[in-house]
Structure 1
Amino acid sequence: MGLLTAVIATAVGGAGAVVAAPLVLTAVGFTAGGIAAGSIAASMMSTAALANGGAVAAGGTVALLQSAGVVGLSAGATGAVAGTTGGIAGLVALLI
């Protein structure tokens, strides 16, 4: 595939990931109302709490994902998601 295809894949991949991130967070249980009972997020929270003596560590993966589920992605996180996903999509387009 050509360079133009890679550029398009990068843009579409990055934009798609930014749009999909809140939907994916909600689907796995990181909701605006808290972690959904019986969800993947609840399982992650339980595992994190067991590993940390009963509490979920501030700044840990579960805490950051729950924060994103409540308030959305920050500008920095949005850029990171778009850049990483877009870069991967562009690389895959070049390799195909």
Structure 2
Amino acid sequence: MPLLPLLATFLGSIVSGLVFRALASLGFAYVAYVGIGQLIDTVDGYIKGLFGAIPPPVAAILGMAKVDVAINIIIAAVIARLMLAGMDRITGTITGLALLNKAGG
């Protein structure tokens, strides 16, 4: 029984599966990245549009209260949370920290 064709078939099946999984993961990551980016841009535009409709004295009070800074912090926190959740599922490197957070520690 020739060993070389058997080995080539075995390695070909392993490599094709790995390449398919890698390309599928990259495609899903790209679609998720673009989709989340569009979602955040849409929410940001919607919030800015709502702030454009308020009267100038109210806008001045909200500006002194730094409501715009608070909204930017909230949006950045949502983006960071989505990024960390994705890292947890894909690489598993933050699993220990996530378990500590869920346990209340």
> Shared fold by TM > 0.5?
no
TM superposition score category, shorter chain reference: 0.3 to 0.5
Of Structure 1 and Structure 2, the greater helix share is in 2
Structure exhibiting the larger radius of gyration computed from Cα positions? 2
Relative contact order, higher structure (CA 8 A, sep 6+): 1
Of Structure 1 and Structure 2, the greater strand share is in 1
